[in-house]
């Protein structure tokens, strides 16, 4: 049973479009991390959000942690082909980090 549900599972868009990826759970997390993974490589951390309602920006990426610390979203503005990859959210409870199933994003030039 996956504690974290991500949507959409697949997303294919054109360069320049905006998109939002969602990460939802019925459980409360002490923090939530977002990773990006490219084929043949391990996931790489993008951001960690800790406080309910927190918003963090990383260039064209905006991350938000829900007020109740059960959900999170990742918004990408003006997507570029280099944004293509598998986006994974991961929730921390105690010392265990649980990953969602991922959103496979393809940005076409």
Partner 1 sequence: EAGVVQSPRYKIIEKKQPVAFWCNPISGHNTLYWYRQNLGQGPELLIRYENEEAVDDSQLPKDRFSAERLKGVDSTLKIQPAELGDSAVYLCASSSSGGDTGELFFGEGSRLTVL
Q: Which pair of tokens denotes residue 33?
A: 């991390």
Q: Give the binding range for partner 1 (CB under 8 A) out of 14-22, 60-68, 72-80, 84-92.
A: 84-92
Contact 69, 53 (CB under 8 A): no
Give the whole-angstrom CA distance, residue 98 versus residue 79.
27
**Interface with partner 1, residue 105, by CB under 8 A:** no
Binding pattern for the stretch 12-51 against partner 1, x by CB under 8 A and - elsewhere = ------------------xx-x------xxxxxx--x-x-
According to DSSP, the β-strands at 44-49 and 31-37 are antiparallel
Q: Which is nearer to partner 1, 26 or 95 (CB)?
A: 95
Region of 101 on the Ramachandran plot (φ > 0 left; ψ -120 to 50 alpha; else beta) = alpha
Compute the half-sphere exposure of residue 53: CA atoms within 13 Å on the CB side of its CA: 1
Q: Which is nearer to partner 1, 33 or 64 (CB)?
A: 33
**Interface with partner 1, residue 55, by CB under 8 A:** no
Binding site for partner 1 (CB under 8 A): 2, 4, 6, 30-31, 33, 40-45, 48, 50, 86, 88, 90, 92-102, 104
């Amino acid at each position: 049973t996956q504690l974290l549900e991500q949507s959409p599972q697949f997303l294919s868009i054109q360069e320049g479009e905006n998109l939002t990826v969602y990460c939802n759970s019925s459980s409360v997390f002490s923090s939530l991390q977002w990773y990006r993974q490219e084929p043949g490589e391990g996931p790489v951390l993008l951001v960690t959000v800790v406080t309910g309602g927190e918003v963090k920006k990383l260039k064209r990426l905006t991350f938000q942690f829900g007020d109740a610390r059960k959900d999170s979203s990742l918004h990408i503005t003006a997507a570029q082909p280099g944004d293509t990859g598998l986006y994974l959210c991961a929730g921390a409870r105690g010392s265990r980090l649980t990953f969602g199933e991922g959103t496979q994003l393809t940005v076409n030039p």
